[in-house]
């Protein structure tokens, strides 16, 4: 029995470990990805996971190299 192809190239970015506005370089090609960039020119959002009223996880794909990136750490960011 063959397993379905699992994307093992998925990278996880913890936003709590990123300084500044949350922008980060793509782990594979280095393109700067900003979650605040809603133009979707550099990435597109594949999936959002929400817990309660808060964003818990965001899965996006880099438009340049097609790497899947999972963003975590939204929950622990203090509200200002
Ligand atoms: Zn990339």
80: CA distance to ligand 1 center in Å? 31
- Give the max Cα distance, the chain: 51
How far lies 31's CA from each of 21, 27, 47, in Å? 16, 8, 20
41: CA distance to ligand 1 center in Å? 12
1: CA distance to ligand 1 center in Å? 32
Instruction: Say whether pTM exceeds 0.85.
Output: no
pLDDT, residue 70, reads 95
68: CA distance to ligand 1 center in Å? 8
25: CA distance to ligand 1 center in Å? 8
Question: Residue range 67-75: average pLDDT?
Answer: 90
User: How confident is the model over 25-53, as pLDDT tens digits?
Assistant: 999 999 999 878 888 899 999 999 999 98
pLDDT, residue 4, reads 61
């Amino acid at each position: 029995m063959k397993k379905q192809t699992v994307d093992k190239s998925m990278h996880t970015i913890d936003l709590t470990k990123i300084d500044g506005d949350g922008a980060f370089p793509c782990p594979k090609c280095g393109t700067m990805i900003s979650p605040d960039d809603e133009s979707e020119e550099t990435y597109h959002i594949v999936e959002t996971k929400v817990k309660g009223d808060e964003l818990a996880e965001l899965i996006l794909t880099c438009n340049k190299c097609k790497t899947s990136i999972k963003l975590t750490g939204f929950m622990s960011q203090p509200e200002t």
